[in-house]
Amino acid sequence: MEPVTRDSFFDGRIVLHQPKHGYRFSIDAVILAHLSLPKAGEKVLDLGAGCGVIPIMLAHRHAAIHLTAVEIQSALAGFARQNVTLNQMADRIRIVEKDMAKLSQGDVDGPVDLVVSNPPYRKRDSGRINSNGQRAMARHELTIDLPTLLHTARRLLRKMGRLAVIYPAVRSVDLLSAMRTEGIEPKRLTMVHARAASAAQLVVVAGVNGGRPGLEVTRPLQVYNDNGTYTPVVDAMFKC
């Protein structure tokens, strides 16, 4: 049996099981869940759910939303289902095990109001591919690339529905250009810095399906203090 860890946050109100040696969620997912900003009554879709961390965090914070989470890897989809049940959210979160490129609106009770995604960051031919299959698929564009992800999101969004994506800052131009090409207009951009003096490592971009041009660049988000602890803003993401 695969070794599993049990992790908790929100002062123990949320518990997650995830593989000890396979793909594990990172601070990226926590930041995206915090910045995606669903509204009461909305239908939310997570593309590439992993162990279910983003929909579970969103369901905990926002009582009046319903979520569908899509994951292609059977083992991770199994963890996601287990975690949804463990946190008593089966009435609000549905896990769909399927290739996101083949999704129909019927698969996700669409059209949806908000799509969130923490997609693979690296192009297929860039860098060493991890020998662990779960990590490789989560980090490299082996089964989904950026244009296909955005096309899938646009197909499943309602008109004027929203998309929130976290991506490497070094690929910001790729992301913004591909969003506009797909008809999802970038509307809000937040740069994420590890420390105050470091260059941005990540970017969170929110866009609107069929929206008008006009981009708000927010204050940057700093993850760590100089002593290595989380900044108050990021620490609060794990607690409420």
pLDDT over 90 (residue 234): yes
Element counts in the chain: helices (H) and strands (E)? 7, 11
pLDDT at 128: 59
Question: Cβ distance 111 to 158 under 8 Å?
Answer: yes
pLDDT at 144: 85
pLDDT over 60 (residue 192): yes
pLDDT at 76: 93
% of residues, the chain, pLDDT over 90: 79
Ordered domains of the chain (ranges, CATH): 4-237 (3.40.50.150)
Say if residue 84 is exposed, middle or buried (CB neighbours under 10 Å; 0-12, 13-18, 19+): buried
Specify the 3-state DSSP secondary structure of 33: helix
Task: Give the residues across from 112 on adjacent strands.
Answer: 157
Question: How far is 37 from 42, CA to CA, in rounded Å?
Answer: 11
Task: Give the residues across from 189 on adjacent strands.
Answer: 205, 217
- How much is the mean pLDDT over the chain? 91
pLDDT over 60 (residue 155): yes
Q: What are the φ/ψ torsions at residue 43 (nearest 5 degrees)?
A: -100, 125
Once rounded to an integer, what is the mean pLDDT over residues 195-200? 96
Question: How far is 93 from 100, CA to CA, in rounded Å?
Answer: 17
pLDDT over 80 (residue 135): no
Question: Cβ distance 55 to 14 under 8 Å?
Answer: no
Least confident range from 24-28, 83-87, 193-197: namely 24-28
Q: Does the pTM of the predicted model rise above 0.75?
A: yes
Question: How far is 23 from 135, CA to CA, in rounded Å?
Answer: 5
pLDDT over 80 (residue 132): no
Picking from 16, 12, 2, the residue whose alpha carbon sits closest to that of residue 89 is: 16
Tokens of 83: 């975690």
Question: Cβ distance 19 to 4 under 8 Å?
Answer: yes
Q: Count the alpha carbons within 13 Å of 115 in the hemisphere toward its beta carbon.
A: 31
Once rounded to an integer, what is the mean pLDDT over residues 133-142? 45
Select the more confidently predicted residue: 122 or 21: 21
Question: How far is 5 from 7, CA to CA, in rounded Å?
Answer: 6
Long-range pairs of 71-74 with CB within 8 A, sequence gap ≥ 24 = 71/95, 71/96, 71/97, 72/48, 72/97, 72/98, 72/99, 72/100, 72/137, 72/143, 72/144, 73/23, 73/134, 73/137
For residue 111, say if its preceding peptide bond is cis, omega within 30 degrees of 0. Answer: yes
**What pLDDT, in 10s, does the model give residues 49-73?**
999 999 999 999 999 999 999 999 9
